[in-house]
Amino acid sequence: MMGLPHARTRFIPDLAGVGLLPEPAAHALAKHIADHRPRLRGARRAALRVPCTIELLDETSCEAMRFSGHTVNYSVSGLAVMVAQALNSGTAVNVLLHAEGETRRISGTIAHCRQVLTGCFEIGIGTATTDSAT
């Protein structure tokens, strides 16, 4: 197990005359974590802004559901989409990309969902396959 780096000392002027104060432990811990955190994203992302439709099967009612949204970015391992509905991680989805008169289907699984604005959620989708559709 790696130990935490020693707290650095820096000059902080103060009226009490102490002069040297240790850097806050939270900062040292945050730097240690940042230096030793594994990279979660292995693939470089590129911006992509096109309208899309998210299709999924509702687990409770077994009905097909559709949500409109738009893509944010993509990589070889997935894409990010903005929608108006929070969706559960682990849900299998199809994403229909609508661009230049063509529709492209991408199958994948929701890796994460986070609220970015009121009524606006970004979902990260890990991709499995892509198929052309018309």
Residue 25 gets which letter from DSSP?
H
CATH of 46-133, one of 3.30.70.120, 3.90.230.10, 3.40.50.300, 2.40.10.220: 2.40.10.220
- The pLDDT value given to residue 45: 81
Q: How far apart are CA 83 and CA 71, in angstroms?
A: 9
What is the overall mean pLDDT for the chain?
A: 75
User: Which tens digit of pLDDT belongs to each residue from 16-27?
Assistant: 444 444 444 544
User: Which tens digit of pLDDT belongs to each residue from 43-83?
Assistant: 678 888 999 999 998 777 888 899 999 999 988 889 999 99
- The pLDDT value given to residue 34: 54
With 0.85 as the threshold, say if the pTM is over it. no
Q: Domain map of the chain by residue range?
A: 7-37, 46-133
